[in-house]
Homo-oligomer: A and B are copies of this chain.
């Protein structure tokens, strides 16, 4: 039977691989954490089919996705089998070995972001070298060999403290040490992974410039946000960053757009930044996936980071990144001493009918990110108070 077709005026067309008129593509997501869970949620209205590679059937995303493959992302055969029937592969985390991603690409599967870009999110040494070559402002840094070399690095600048990071495998403060002396500096070398030394930047606050870029080069920039960390873990995000100099905000957005372009990132790119006392910005970290600093967009932006990540990896036109409220605040919900969060959850809903709760379906363990809340409104103090109260009550640190 001849099926009538037409070409959209924008020049785009579907791959047409599906019979019976079901022409919508399949996104393969590697990793079953909350980022995959929320990306699936954002993909449902887009009509996108979602296939998940998860470590266990109980992972956060595996609980809510229709098509789940349980398997090890470090195994190439597993990845290859998973990729069959996917139109594109994307990620919940940065841990898939680069050589496996190259093998998938060689098989003809689009991998987005591609291994050539993802490298700079996987390896902090490569990231620093590349950004420095691009003239992007970074903290003073170099790869160090041992504790004595750390002391030498300190002496080359303003001395201790120095920040040491394993170049691969760290997250949420893991794999990061702040050392105050040469004697302090032995631990990071024990894993046998290359170690990057960085000056400890005396920042006034942390910012994040989040952008989304598609393969054909369209890109959107979200408002620059302030990210408040507690014990190395993101605690609160305020969108937009209060009292941020307009020129500096523009500079941060341009920097993130430029990094996305130069590194050929496809999908969401989070550029974590330090704002220095003298009004400069320095790049702290890069993440090439939806990011905690963008969770506010679910309820605070016209298009969420998750929806735009899906649109980008499929090379669909991107959605409007502008805010819907004057202020939006995201507060992470960490596990506390009470494994039963449901009664606290009821209380938070009753107390604040405008509260947007996002739970990840994870068992509560002390310090574990098990959800977040978003609040929005015109008065920043009130919006902040509502978010912090709800997050604190859910954790159990606030009881009234």
Q: Within the complex, which residue of B13, B21, B45, B302 is in contact with A358, where a contact is CB–CB below 8 Å? A: B45
> Does A12 count as interface, using CB distance less than 8 angstroms?
yes
Judge whether A400 and B354 touch: CB under 8 Å. no
Interface centre among A13, A339, A353, A364 (most CB of B within 10 A): A353
Judge whether A64 and B45 touch: CB under 8 Å. no
Contacts of A1-60 to chain B: CB distance below 8 A: 3-10, 12-14, 16, 20-25, 37-38, 40-41, 44-47, 49-50
Judge whether B9 and A340 touch: CB under 8 Å. no
Chain A contact patch, size range: 35 or more
Binds B, one of A116-124, A241-249, A286-294, A315-323: A315-323
Binds B, one of A157-165, A184-192, A341-349: A341-349
**Residues in B neighbouring A360, C-beta threshold 8 A:** 47
> Does A303 count as interface, using CB distance less than 8 angstroms?
yes
Judge whether A5 and B303 touch: CB under 8 Å. no
Chain B residue at smallest Cβ distance from A361: B47
Judge whether B21 and A343 touch: CB under 8 Å. no
Interface centre among A25, A68, A311, A339 (most CB of B within 10 A): A339
Judge whether A64 and B63 touch: CB under 8 Å. no
> Does A357 count as interface, using CB distance less than 8 angstroms?
yes
**Residues in B neighbouring A13, C-beta threshold 8 A:** 342-343, 346
Oligomeric state, in copies: 2
Query: Once the chains are docked, how many angstroms separate the CA of A353 from the CA of B324?
Result: 14
> Does A201 count as interface, using CB distance less than 8 angstroms?
no
Judge whether A44 and B20 touch: CB under 8 Å. no
Query: Once the chains are docked, how many angstroms separate the CA of A152 from the CA of B388?
Result: 67
Contacts of A328-366 to chain B: CB distance below 8 A: 337-347, 349-351, 353-354, 356-361, 363-365
Q: How far is the CB of A15 from chain B (nearest CB, A)?
A: 8
**Residues in B neighbouring A170, C-beta threshold 8 A:** none
Q: How far is the CB of A391 from chain B (nearest CB, A)?
A: 14
Query: Once the chains are docked, how many angstroms separate the CA of A316 from the CA of B344?
Result: 11
**Residues in B neighbouring A318, C-beta threshold 8 A:** 349, 353
> Does A371 count as interface, using CB distance less than 8 angstroms?
yes
> Does A70 count as interface, using CB distance less than 8 angstroms?
no
Judge whether B346 and A8 touch: CB under 8 Å. yes
Q: How far is the CB of A233 from chain B (nearest CB, A)?
A: 20
Query: Once the chains are docked, how many angstroms separate the CA of A8 from the CA of B46?
Result: 37
Interface residues of A (CB under 8 A from B): 3-10, 12-14, 16, 20-25, 37-38, 40-41, 44-47, 49-50, 62-66, 68, 298, 302-303, 311, 316-320, 324, 337-347, 349-351, 353-354, 356-361, 363-365, 371, 396, 399-400
**In the A-B complex, the 7 residue pairs with the closest CB atoms:** A47-B359, A21-B339, A14-B342, A8-B347, A317-B350, A12-B346, A317-B349
